[in-house]
């Protein structure tokens, strides 16, 4: 027993440590969400919550079911790999109910988003100085958006 004679401070220290651990466990049980760690280092219930959110993009396969003519035009040109909603924006609502008019993209801001000359773009990517190239004439006067090599006037779609 003599070795514990002057050990009171050790027991107090152990008590403080134990109280700290208990406080940590109690707070953790109270604040960590129930499904945390169910699948990995995140809240398992988040998957169902995110899956329940409404869709905004329909995906080009859906557009192509109804607009097969445009899909064919597009597949034959340089925009083959630019998907519908990259230009038209998210249109899941229109795809689910075609009576909802999606409107048309604003050509004045659309084309330059990808084609305005910029040192940041790869040199091989087709780009133009819009002012010099078009001089204020709308891009789709000369380029059919779905197949930009086809002259817009005359050869629509």
Binding site for ligand HEC (CB under 6 A): 58, 60, 62-67, 70-71, 74, 78-79, 82, 84-88, 91, 94-95, 98, 101-102, 104-105, 107, 110-115, 125-128, 130, 133-134, 137, 139-143, 145-146, 148-149, 157
Q: Least separation, in Å, of the C-beta of 132 and ligand HEC?
A: 10
Reading the block at residue 71, the tokens are 């899909």
Q: Least separation, in Å, of the C-beta of 73 and ligand HEC?
A: 8
Residue 17, exposed/middle/buried by CB under 10 A (0-12, 13-18, 19+)? exposed
Q: Least separation, in Å, of the C-beta of 151 and ligand HEC?
A: 8
Reading the block at residue 61, the tokens are 């396969």
Residue 25, exposed/middle/buried by CB under 10 A (0-12, 13-18, 19+)? exposed
In the bound state with ligand HEC, the residue whose beta carbon lies nearer, of 14 and 149, is: 149
How large is the C-alpha radius of gyration of the chain? 31
């Amino acid at each position: 027993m003599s070795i514990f004679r002057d050990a009171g401070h050790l027991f107090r220290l152990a008590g403080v440590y134990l109280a700290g651990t208990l406080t940590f466990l109690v707070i953790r049980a109270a604040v960590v969400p129930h499904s945390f760690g169910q699948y990995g280092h995140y809240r398992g219930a988040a998957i169902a919550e995110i899956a329940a959110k409404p869709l905004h993009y329909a995906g080009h396969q859906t557009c192509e079911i109804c607009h097969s003519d445009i899909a064919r035009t597009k597949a034959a040109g340089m925009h083959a790999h630019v998907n519908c909603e990259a230009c038209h924006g998210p249109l899941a609502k229109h795809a689910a109910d075609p009576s909802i008019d999606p409107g048309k993209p604003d050509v004045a801001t659309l084309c330059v988003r990808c084609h305005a000359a910029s040192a940041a773009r790869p040199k091989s990517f087709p780009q133009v100085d819009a002012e010099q190239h078009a001089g204020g004439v709308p891009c789709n006067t000369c380029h059919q958006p779905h197949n930009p090599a086809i002259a817009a006037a005359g050869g629509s779609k």
